[in-house]
């Protein structure tokens, strides 16, 4: 079943009504002031032991590539567009840059008990598995309620 709604507002779902949430390269599109409420809303709909699988561009990895003096211009331009969004339409902008530390801070503040970084979620091929430069550019985390 497909449900159309705003990722920042999960009020259409009851408390502890969703066992698992998967968000691949979505959270960076949420304006920074709305991040706490967005994560609190996700936490609310998960039951005890529910999981939030979240993938975001890995700002640490992208910065290393951007600062690499041997990286060609085309690579740096691509990395910049991963950092800030492709900007191909009105929704293709990134409001936040995420590192493991920053994501962990916000997940903890939302109430998540712990998080685990993973190389892949193993669900299907999407941006969370994208590695155009022989290393992953995605920060993939499972957060546990």
| Alpha-helix residue ranges (DSSP H) falling in 31-135 | 35-45, 59-67, 73-84, 100-110
Q: Is residue 94 part of a domain?
A: yes
Binned at pLDDT 50, 70 and 90, residue 8 comes out as confident
Q: Which domain holds residue 95?
A: 26-144
1 located within any domain: no
pLDDT in tens, 41-89: 999 999 999 999 999 999 999 999 999 999 999 999 999 999 999 999 9
Q: Which of 44, 35, 34, 66 is nearest to 133 (CA)?
A: 66
pTM of the shown model: 0.93
The residue among 86, 76, 78 whose CA lies nearest residue 29 is 86
HSE-CB of 102 using CA atoms within 13 angstroms: 14
What CATH number does the domain containing 47 carry?
Answer: 3.40.50.150
């Amino acid at each position: 079943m497909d449900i159309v709604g705003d990722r920042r507002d999960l009020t259409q779902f009851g408390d502890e009504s969703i066992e698992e949430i998967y968000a691949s390269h979505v959270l960076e599109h949420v304006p920074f002031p709305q991040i706490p409420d967005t994560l609190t809303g996700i936490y609310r709909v998960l039951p005890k032991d529910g999981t939030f699988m979240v993938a975001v561009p890995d700002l640490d990895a992208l910065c290393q590539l951007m600062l690499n003096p041997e990286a060609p211009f085309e690579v740096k331009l691509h990395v910049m567009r991963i950092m800030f969004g492709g900007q191909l339409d009105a929704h293709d902008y990134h409001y936040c840059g995420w590192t493991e530390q920053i994501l962990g801070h916000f997940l903890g503040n939302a109430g998540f008990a712990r998080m685990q970084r993973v190389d892949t979620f193993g669900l299907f091929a999407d941006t969370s598995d994208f590695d155009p430069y022989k290393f992953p550019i995605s920060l993939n985390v499972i957060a546990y309620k």
